[in-house]
Amino acid sequence: MSLTARYAVFTAETALVATLILFPCSGPAGVAARVTLMIAGGAGVLAVLLLGGLPWRRHPIVVAMLTFLIVSEVSAVLSVVPTASAEDSTKTLLRMLVVALLLICAVPKPEGDFVRARRTAQALVVGGLLLAATGWGMWFGGFQTHWGGLVGPLHYNEICMVLVPILSLAFAFLVTKPSWWHFLICTVLMTTALMTFSRIGWVAIAVLVVLWFWAAPKGRRWFVATATLGGATLALVVAGPNIAHFDTVVDNAILLREDSTTELDGRVMKTMNIMDLVTLNDRLDYAWKPALRLISERPLFGWGYGTSTFAHLTLGDGPLLGHEHNAVLAIAVQSGLVGVVAWLFWLAVLLWRGWMSRRLDGHDPKRWLLTGVAIAVVAEYLVQGLGEPVGNYRMGVLLVVLSAIVVLADGPPVSWLKPGE
């Protein structure tokens, strides 16, 4: 490898690690994360040119991921709302593609690179701790949600959405090598995620803990249980009387008749009843039905990529929520049923590789890292995706990173059905 190529590889990987650390707490317009990603992108492209080749076919996960990105870009080109789609596709798909190429396709090693996979996971965990520190700083400074929960540089639901996959990776390190340090990290992330008061996030966390307790070796399950109980206990203590608001929801029937900037206060809050539970807090009427109508009108490639597509198309159609409140519906509205199939195929390949990791030795850290990714996909993209759209910018990039961890740890698979071990 030439000196220039070595410098390019070093710059790309250093900037990518910095991006992954800054990514969880950078906010939608995180300048530092964007600048480091630009540096990584430039250095990565240079490295690929100098080293030659772009082995995009070397793993089924890479094929599945790039297929989804291509379908999403096609939906942006065919968009009915080109301005919104162009903005979102440039901001989101380009970042996802750059991260994918750099983490997976650039400068590959034939035997895989578990060290690089582990470093990527560790960078995400550090980013999660940085997000937790930022959120707690704001909470103790008097900034809280209308329920009294944790806020931060992201929306409270987004904080939990980012922390759920990161928590799964932290559990992977805890199960691989139990220590007080790993235990403390899991406890802090658990407390922070619970204190967001994200109800769909709580469900995702419950699924994550159950799956980890099932997957972990019997001798190490108590580490998972203790970290979970410790985090939950600490959350109950710091939440204090605010925990009484756990069954309080936004009264959308009132809020949607107000100006969109109406502050969420006692006037638009109510205690959850059985109807709210059945309709997932009015999402059936104000989000899911309009989304299904849009899908039926343009089922193939949808209306155009981006989180604002739904809002643009339903503007003026009466009181509606700001987005589809469901990952599958969001992707179907934006990129059609073709996009949904591509996205679900991507998730399926990831889950299959996680399931296949059971063949590895129980002392192999690679097994638990792959298990952590699979559990993260179930808890976040399938469970939490029932109530929130998780296919766009932040969660889309995070899914790319999770995919990269699997590919880097894997090495080249011998076939689609029997991934390399």
Quick: pLDDT tens for 46-61.
Answer: 877 777 666 656 678 8
CA 16, 100, 163, 261 torsion: positive or negative? positive
The pLDDT of 87-110, averaged and rounded, is 66
Q: Is there a single domain that holds both residue 26 and residue 115? A: no
378-396 tens-digit pLDDT: 999 999 888 888 876 778 8
User: What range defines the domain where residue 18 resides?
Assistant: 1-53
Identify whether residues 282 and 238 lie together within a single domain.
yes
Domain check: are 40 and 130 in the same one? no
pLDDT tens per residue across span 187-216: 999 999 999 888 888 899 999 999 999 999
| Cα four-point dihedral sign 332, 335, 340, 344 | negative
Both structure tokens of 58 = 């070397």
Give the three-state DSSP class for 271. strand
Q: Measured between alpha carbons, how far is 200 from 208 in angstroms, rounded to an integer?
A: 12
Clarify whether residues 347 and 218 are in a common domain.
Answer: yes
φ/ψ of residue 144, rounded to 5: -135, 160
Locate tokens 């929801």: which residue?
A: 249
Q: What pLDDT is attached to residue 105?
A: 56
Query: Do residues 337 and 387 both lie within one domain?
Result: yes
**Which range, 102-106, 176-180, 312-316, has the best average confidence (pLDDT)?**
176-180
Same-domain check for residues 40 and 82 = no
Residue 282 reports pLDDT greater than 90:
no
pLDDT of residue 257: 59
pLDDT of 111 above 60: no
pLDDT classification of 351: cutoffs 50, 70, 90 = very high
Dist. CA 69–CA 224, nearest whole Å:
35
Considering the domain architecture, whether residues 293 and 345 belong to the same structural domain is answered as yes
Which pLDDT band holds residue 110 (cuts at 50, 70, 90)?
Answer: low
**Hey, what long-range contacts does 5-8 have (CB within 8 A, 24 or more apart)?**
5/46, 5/47, 5/50, 5/51, 7/43, 8/43, 8/44, 8/46, 8/47, 8/50
Q: Calculate the CA dihedral of residues 268, 274, 277, 279 and round it to 10 degrees.
A: -90
80 within 8 A of 304, measured Cβ to Cβ: yes
Whole-number pLDDT of residue 130: 93
Instruction: Check residues 219 and 369 and name the one with the higher pLDDT.
Output: 369
So what's the pLDDT on residue 356? 86
**pLDDT grade, residue 264 (50/70/90)?**
low
Mean pLDDT, rounded, for 111-134: 87
Could you tell me if 165 and 233 lie in one domain? yes
Tell me, what's the pLDDT at 317?
A: 63
Q: How many domains does the chain have?
A: 2
For residue 8, what pLDDT is reported? 82
Name the residue with higher pLDDT: 253 or 221.
221
Q: Regarding predicted confidence, which is higher, 258 or 136?
A: 136
Q: Collect all residues with Cβ–Cβ distance below 8 Å to 419 and sequence separation of at least 6.
A: 60, 352, 353, 356, 410, 413
**Is 179 in the same domain as 274?**
yes
| Residue at a domain's end among 53, 74, 90 | 53
* Predicted pLDDT at 103: 67
Q: What is the pLDDT of residues 322-345, one digit of tens each?
A: 778 889 999 999 889 999 999 999
What pLDDT score does 259 carry? 52
In the predicted model, is pLDDT for residue 253 greater than 50?
A: yes
Q: Rounded to whole angstroms, what are the CA distances from 285 to 26, 261, 280, 308, 321?
A: 33, 21, 10, 19, 9
Answer with the one of 53, 68, 88 that is the final residue of a domain: 53
Counting residues of the chain whose pLDDT is more than 70, the rounded percentage is 84
Indicate if the pLDDT at residue 233 is higher than 90.
yes
- Cα–Cα distances in angstroms (integers) from residue 377 to residues 156, 347, 396, in the given order: 20, 7, 12
Shared domain for 34 and 75, answered yes or no, is no
119 in the same domain as 138: yes
Question: Is the domain of 197 the same as that of 213?
Answer: yes
pTM of the predicted model over 0.85: yes
Angle between helix 365-376 and helix 156-176 axes, rounded to 10 deg? 160
